[in-house]
Structure 1
Amino acid sequence: MSGAQTTGRRRGPRASLKQLVPYLLTQRGPLTLALALGIVGAGTSLAQPVLLGQVIERVQLSQPLGVLLVILSVLVVVDALLSGFQHYVLQRMGEGVVLHSRRTLIARILRLPIGEFDRRRTGDLVSRVGSDTTLLRAVLTQGMVEAISGLLVFFGALIGMLVIDPVLFGITFSVVVIALMIVVAVSAKIRPAVTQAQQKVGDLAAQVERSISSIRTIRAAGATHREQRATEAEAEEAYVLGLKVAKISALIVPISFLALQLSFLVVLGLGGYRVAIGAIGIAQLVMFIVFLFLMVAPLGQAFGAIAAVNQALGALGRIQEIVTTPAENDHDVALAPAGRIVPLAEQAQPDAPAIRFNDVSFTYRSAAPARIDARELVRSGRGGRGAWRDAEAAPAEIVETSVLKNVSFEIARSSRVALVGPSGAGKSTTLALIERFYDPDSGSIELHGVDLRNLDRGELRAQLGYVEQDAPVLAGSLRDNLLLGSPDASDAECIRVLRAVNLGGLLERTAANLAHIGSASTHIDSAPDHIGSAPDTENVESLGESNLPPTSDIAAAHLSRALDAEVGERGIMLSGGEKQRLAIARTLLSAP
């Protein structure tokens, strides 16, 4: 990637440590407990080398050890128990942070403006809820809070080493400081690398979602192998970027190991010399070595925490990109011509038409953002430090498609109107504007004489019955789909609307299957697996529609249980017409 290309692109989503803190504070109780356990554990750890030094001195003087060994043993056991309990608390806190972040993301995604879904890929949004939020757990389980409590041990060990031998301490500490500086410099590269890797994971999820959702079309077109190659290419690019993260993270391990080894060798060599010249005793040298190991443990946690935090911030940037996107209704008051949201009953005009378009123009502005090719990112990582650190993505290339221009019409109350025109004429767009999925670029739309922008979106949509052109059916049961907009509807109401849209036969066939199963056994164990399911293949013919018992003979209990029949992923167990009618039944049940 050239420098000109790099400067022409915007930076990818970023996050700061300040934005991570609120996620940690959602778990104040476990956080406080973990820190308290860390403080107590630090005290028990720091007491051990002091007691060990006294044990050695008593052995040298041939004095009885007395209760010292008992106290030292108890401290070791208590320290181990506290460490295990703290680990559990941190794991629980990590799961709580992940849950909170997922709740926040889900709540925001379901309230994003419809235009955001036009510009984003479904799989990428799913990836943010799944893999990106999981990375936040690493901040806790891989050392951030442990590192904070470990600071007490670290500084306590430093003080102990300084008191025992300032000269030996100065040389040892210099090695540690140099290692720490190198780790910080290396870890700074992790955050943008993780951002790139997670972006590619999102692209992979979007590609897989596309392939699965269109599997029948892909099979019919004989495109299975091509789709497989395209998906594998995304997976391979995610693998390459994942390796980049692994390589950077792997540098931290040998640096930590070298720091420990050099420190240990310095202490043994120089410490042995200072014991020989009488500057310190053997007990002091042993205490110094134990303090060194106590210092190295939290230092390793700090090294791991630096890497974990940088990884988490890379993922948090993608989470925050969605969380900070304004929700659909965030600016409704500012957009309202009246300067406030008003109830429909307050402004409705009895003589006004049901719907009025006043010189309305509208242009779609949508396109999935064009991303930098992952291979370019990898190549730039070798020679372009700035490009690698920035984790840049190409700006979204927004495609504008003008659909409506200066459109005006009225729809009288209690009238029935059909919008007729060729594909792309704006029929679906007109309905989307009435539902206020979008706002017009110019002009206004009125409901009962009230500008839609003055109305609460929930109240507006409660006045309308909307059935989409492709009639999406949710995975689940008939009941799940019907209760989407009317969660308190009774079974009788659900059955009524199904019959009103000519789906009574479907319901009754399923109920008949249940009745047949019930007559063949002493009780019914479960709802049917799917629409019109039969107990086995031998009995399918006997359950045909011609052999159904009369509707009046079908028990109401079986009809109610038939509502629990599964419709399959995207309603695959229903025909296209049945999907449309189920969507209409759902709208009728809401009774707008």
Structure 2
Amino acid sequence: MNTASAPTTDEPSLSARETIRALGAYVRPHRWAVALGLLCALVGAAAGLLQPLATKALVDRLASGETIAGILIAFTVLVVLGTAVEAFGAYVLERTAESVVLAARRTLVGRLLRLRIAEWERIPPGDLMSRVTSDTTLLRAVSTQAVVSAATGAVAFVAAVVVMAFLDVVLLGVTLGVIVSVGGAAALVMPQIARATERSQEAVGEISVGLERSLGAFRTVKASGAEERETARVEAAARRAWRHGVESAKWEAMAASADELALQLAFLAVLAVGGARVASGEIPVSTLVAFLLYLFYLIEPVSRLVDAVTSYQEGAAAISRIAAVERLSTESPARRTGPPAPPGDSRAGSGVCPFRGRVLPLPSGPAVHPPAGEFRGTRCRDDRLRRSFRRGQVDGLRAHRAVLRSHRRPGPGRWQGRTGLVPGRAAVRHRVRGAGRSGAGRHPTGEPGLRGAGCDGRRPPRRPDPHEARHPRGASARRPGYPGRPSRLEAVGR
């Protein structure tokens, strides 16, 4: 069982070009759905772009005393149509994102089950599972929403800037100066979001590793009393994930507040400069109102651009971890070399044998036989181990409760190394509850011993020893292979 405690791979982060190339590989099979969602988003953005112009026409008609019924009807239809088309595009993008995540998970699962043993032993299984679950979840946001939001926000921003330049170039210069100065400062925090997110995902992988190890060896953890230690280890990984998540949230909040600050400062600057220009008669009031509406319209494209960059930074960490799995060496999938066998009746008692009359080719070559006595020696070692546990012994030494507790404290690694226990198998069949009624003796090595190993103080029945039948039991009798060890009767007599 792979019980590595933490990821052992040194995975370099992908560059921006490699990340975009990997992202394009995921989006390419769904490019037409992404294009449809992008088209719907652009239609919604165009509808929003026309609203300030409709407002300007409405103000001009009110100033001239003309009717405004047609303008109001067109304005209402424009708002409803833009909202409906944008909602449909959002549904298409969400559905496409789920399809991208499904394809990524299927690819990862297929590769993980065909990994070579060397690769599997190098990376903990819990970390591999976190890449299939949590990392692919981050892929959902960056695969479609980030791409479409970036494209839509860029197009809407450029279109709004063109219309604002048509209205008044001076006010546009003031607006762009404020936005670029504040937005440039916000762009410096974007790499911090990617680093914090990658560290958080690595900590989540450590949580999966710890739980996979503890639950996979649950009986050993219980037998060794290591619940608190394993809990503390998983909690430490959870705290690291929390700490990096809070750090990522801090940088995201700074980026989100920076774009709002830029737009608010731009609004105040445009209001001051535009009011002065209206007072001087350089521009009419309707132009200032339309320009302010376009300034508020810029909030959505700028927010989309910031969200797209933030989602890209978060998804870049997930894409790097997923790409690391895709670079692992795998075995080629097995292919069938013949037609499938026809169905037959092979139930018990049917009298039909599906292998009758068939020839199974066997590879030719020298036969490999184990050395003589190999399995017999293994069985003898198992028998000695079972007898030792029945007598309350560890490593061939008599042990009372304190000795067993000292073997139990260090945890499953030392207990398993001393006794050869396998998680999931209860090899200890008789627990030593206390010393016998006649008091404890002492082993020649200095280890205290027990008179009885049963739960009620009585000695459990032992199996007849063929060696004792051939040799008398006494002070001069010695078992072969144990030249310095007294017989069982002498140990009890002492």
Shorter chain as normaliser: what TM range?
0.5 to 0.7
Q: Distance in 1 between matches of 2:289 and 2:278?
A: 11
Confirm whether residue 12 of structure 1 aligns to residue 15 of structure 2.
no
Provide the residue aligned with 2:102 in structure 1: 99
Cα deviation 1:505-541 (Å, max 9, x = unaligned): xxxxxxxxxxxxxxxxxxxxxxxxxxxxxxxxxxxxx
Confirm whether residue 132 of structure 1 aligns to residue 89 of structure 2.
no
Q: Letter of the aligned partner of 2:12 in structure 1? A: G
| Percent sequence identity over aligned pairs | 34
Provide the residue aligned with 2:209 in structure 1: 206
Provide the residue aligned with 2:271 in structure 1: 268
Q: Distance in 1 between matches of 2:67 and 2:228?
A: 80
Q: Letter of the aligned partner of 1:272 in structure 2? A: G
Cα deviation 1:111-138 (Å, max 9, x = unaligned): 1111111111111000000000000112
Q: Distance in 2 between matches of 1:421 and 1:118?
A: 31
Provide the residue aligned with 1:196 in structure 2: 199
1:223 and 1:11, CA in 2 relative to 1: closer, same or farther beyond 3 A? closer
Given candidates 287, 292, 297, the residue that maps to 1:289 is: 292
Confirm whether residue 44 of structure 1 aligns to residue 1 of structure 2.
no
Q: Distance in 1 between matches of 2:161 and 2:57?
A: 19
Confirm whether residue 60 of structure 1 aligns to residue 17 of structure 2.
no
1:80-99 alignment runs, 5 A limit: 80-99=83-102
In the TM superposition, what is the alpha-carbon distance from 1:161 to its structure 2 partner? 0.6
Provide the residue aligned with 2:151 in structure 1: 148
Q: Distance in 2 between matches of 1:245 and 1:422?
A: 59
1:281 and 1:355, CA in 2 relative to 1: closer, same or farther beyond 3 A? farther
For residue 279 of structure 1, give the secondary structure of its aligned residue in structure 2: coil
Provide the residue aligned with 2:165 in structure 1: 162
Cα deviation 1:382-420 (Å, max 9, x = unaligned): xxxxxxxxxxxxxxxxxxxxxxxxxxxx339xx999975
Provide the residue aligned with 1:119 in structure 2: 122
**8 Å contact 2:93–2:145 — kept in the other structure?**
no
For residue 280 of structure 1, give the secondary structure of its aligned residue in structure 2: coil
Provide the residue aligned with 1:73 in structure 2: 76
In the TM superposition, what is the alpha-carbon distance from 1:154 to its structure 2 partner? 1.1
Cα deviation 1:323-345 (Å, max 9, x = unaligned): 12222249x9xxxxxxxx9x99x
Q: Letter of the aligned partner of 1:411 in structure 2? A: V
Deviation larger for 141-150 or 314-323: 141-150
Provide the residue aligned with 1:178 in structure 2: 181
Q: Letter of the aligned partner of 1:173 in structure 2? A: L
Provide the residue aligned with 1:405 in structure 2: none
For residue 189 of structure 2, give the secondary structure of its aligned residue in structure 1: helix
Confirm whether residue 309 of structure 1 aligns to residue 266 of structure 2.
no
1:302 and 1:353, CA in 2 relative to 1: closer, same or farther beyond 3 A? closer
**8 Å contact 2:217–2:423 — kept in the other structure?**
no
1:247-258 alignment runs, 5 A limit: 247-258=250-261
Deviation larger for 120-129 or 232-241: 232-241
Report the TM-score when normalising by structure 1.
Answer: 0.55
Confirm whether residue 279 of structure 1 aligns to residue 282 of structure 2.
yes
Provide the residue aligned with 2:323 in structure 1: 320
1:36 and 1:422, CA in 2 relative to 1: closer, same or farther beyond 3 A? farther
Q: Letter of the aligned partner of 1:294 in structure 2? A: Y
In the TM superposition, what is the alpha-carbon distance from 1:183 to its structure 2 partner? 2.7
Q: Distance in 2 between matches of 1:419 and 1:155?
A: 80
For residue 111 of structure 1, give the secondary structure of its aligned residue in structure 2: coil
**8 Å contact 1:201–1:238 — kept in the other structure?**
yes
Q: Distance in 2 between matches of 1:33 and 1:217?
A: 55
Cα deviation 1:254-278 (Å, max 9, x = unaligned): 2112111111111111111111111
1:411-430 alignment runs, 5 A limit: 411=368, 420=375
Q: Distance in 2 between matches of 1:107 and 1:311?
A: 25
Provide the residue aligned with 1:187 in structure 2: 190
Q: Distance in 2 between matches of 1:163 and 1:47?
A: 14
1:245 and 1:419, CA in 2 relative to 1: closer, same or farther beyond 3 A? farther
For residue 67 of structure 1, give the secondary structure of its aligned residue in structure 2: helix
1:353 and 1:76, CA in 2 relative to 1: closer, same or farther beyond 3 A? closer
Aligned residues: 349
Provide the residue aligned with 1:232 in structure 2: 235
In the TM superposition, what is the alpha-carbon distance from 1:199 to its structure 2 partner? 1.0
1:217 and 1:54, CA in 2 relative to 1: closer, same or farther beyond 3 A? same
Provide the residue aligned with 2:38 in structure 1: 35
**8 Å contact 2:198–2:317 — kept in the other structure?**
yes
Q: Letter of the aligned partner of 1:326 in structure 2? A: S
In the TM superposition, what is the alpha-carbon distance from 1:35 to its structure 2 partner? 1.2
Report the structure number with the largest CA radius of gyration: 2
In the TM superposition, what is the alpha-carbon distance from 1:230 to its structure 2 partner? 1.5
For residue 411 of structure 1, give the secondary structure of its aligned residue in structure 2: coil
For residue 16 of structure 1, give the secondary structure of its aligned residue in structure 2: helix
Q: Letter of the aligned partner of 2:240 in structure 1? A: E
Q: Distance in 1 between matches of 2:64 and 2:361?
A: 108
**8 Å contact 2:119–2:329 — kept in the other structure?**
no
In the TM superposition, what is the alpha-carbon distance from 1:182 to its structure 2 partner? 2.3
Name structure 1 gaps, 5 residues minimum.
1-8, 333-340, 345-349, 357-409, 424-469, 473-592
Report the TM-score when normalising by structure 2.
Answer: 0.65
1:110 and 1:275, CA in 2 relative to 1: closer, same or farther beyond 3 A? same
In the TM superposition, what is the alpha-carbon distance from 1:282 to its structure 2 partner? 1.1
1:288 and 1:215, CA in 2 relative to 1: closer, same or farther beyond 3 A? same
In the TM superposition, what is the alpha-carbon distance from 1:39 to its structure 2 partner? 2.3
**8 Å contact 1:168–1:270 — kept in the other structure?**
yes
Q: Distance in 2 between matches of 1:50 and 1:34?
A: 26
In the TM superposition, what is the alpha-carbon distance from 1:160 to its structure 2 partner? 0.7
Q: Distance in 2 between matches of 1:224 and 1:258?
A: 50
1:225 and 1:90, CA in 2 relative to 1: closer, same or farther beyond 3 A? same
For residue 189 of structure 1, give the secondary structure of its aligned residue in structure 2: helix
1:116 and 1:57, CA in 2 relative to 1: closer, same or farther beyond 3 A? same
Q: Distance in 2 between matches of 1:418 and 1:312?
A: 59
Q: Letter of the aligned partner of 2:368 in structure 1? A: I
In the TM superposition, what is the alpha-carbon distance from 1:353 to its structure 2 partner? 6.7
Q: Distance in 2 between matches of 1:200 and 1:45?
A: 43
For residue 26 of structure 1, give the secondary structure of its aligned residue in structure 2: helix
Q: Distance in 2 between matches of 1:219 and 1:47?
A: 69
In the TM superposition, what is the alpha-carbon distance from 1:16 to its structure 2 partner? 1.6
